[in-house]
Amino acid sequence: MSQTTHQSARGVEHAATATEPNTARERLLQTAAQLFYGRGINSTGVDLILAESKVAKGSLYHHFSGKQALVLAYLQRERDDWQRSATASDDLTLDSGARLDALFSGVVHSVHAGTFHGCPFTNAIIERPDDAEVRAAVDGYCDQLRQHLAAITGESPTSALVQQLFIVYNGALTALKLTRDLEAVESARCLAQQLLHEQQAQRLRG
């Protein structure tokens, strides 16, 4: 999600997952991520990935068992990137409001960078609704997101507040994809702040 909802990784210099920078495998994964995310998984053939990454077909099948493995590696990388950039942009010295704000600012930045194409995991499960492996990756991402929201708010990942922020955040991404209007993000940001304030007011009272 790095390229999507957070300013980061792909495109910049970027040190990857700790792999050497310019191996065929790395170029492959990087190109696949761009194409899968930007044009869709199902409408991106391996031949296009090979042409754009300037990697030979043999190398692809040397490193990956097939396109499916490449898709899963792409989703795994999105998870890693999301985690990395979410925690990187999360300044623990700030208050909850500012930390929540950073989440939405990441989305805005990706729009300005022209790299926003929706949530990679939502996109993936829509393109491959019956794929158990994609489903597992999506489940993992949902847990990540909820835990991040829980950390910010100081609530449990299963709390009502986290659940609602989960909806507002995903609503922002979907509405933005639908309308291509950044107003959706601003409305969502504002709504999220409202919810946070209500929780804080309630804490003071209770």
Cβ burial of 183 (10 Å; 0-12, 13-18, 19+) is exposed
State in angstroms the smallest separation of the CB of 87 from a copy of itself: 21
End-to-end, the C-alpha distance of the chain in Å comes to 37
Examine residue 107 and tell whether it contacts a copy of itself (CB under 8 A).
Answer: no
Cβ neighbours for 106, distance < 8 A, ≥ 6 positions apart = 5, 6, 7, 85, 86, 89
Examine residue 39 and tell whether it contacts DNA (CB under 7 A).
Answer: no
Examine residue 184 and tell whether it contacts a copy of itself (CB under 8 A).
Answer: yes
Q: What number of chain residues touch DNA (CB under 7 A)? A: 20
Examine residue 164 and tell whether it contacts a copy of itself (CB under 8 A).
Answer: yes
Residues facing 10 on adjacent strands: 12
Rounded CA-CA distance 186/193 in Å is 11
State in angstroms the smallest separation of the CB of 167 from a copy of itself: 4
State in angstroms the smallest separation of the CB of 107 from DNA: 29
Examine residue 174 and tell whether it contacts DNA (CB under 7 A).
Answer: no
Examine residue 166 and tell whether it contacts a copy of itself (CB under 8 A).
Answer: yes
CA angle 122, 77, 46 (to 5 degrees): 80
Long-range Cβ contacts of 177-182 (<8 Å, 24+ apart) = 177/117, 177/118, 182/108, 182/111
CB-wise, 54 or 197, nearer to DNA?
54
In the shown chain, the binding pattern of residues 53 to 92 toward DNA, with x for contact by CB under 7 A and - for none, equals -xxxxxx-xxx--xxx------------------------
User: Which residues of the chain form contacts with a copy of itself (CB under 8 A)?
Assistant: 38-40, 42-43, 117-119, 121-123, 125-130, 138, 142, 160, 163-164, 166-175, 177-179, 183-184, 187-188, 190-191, 195
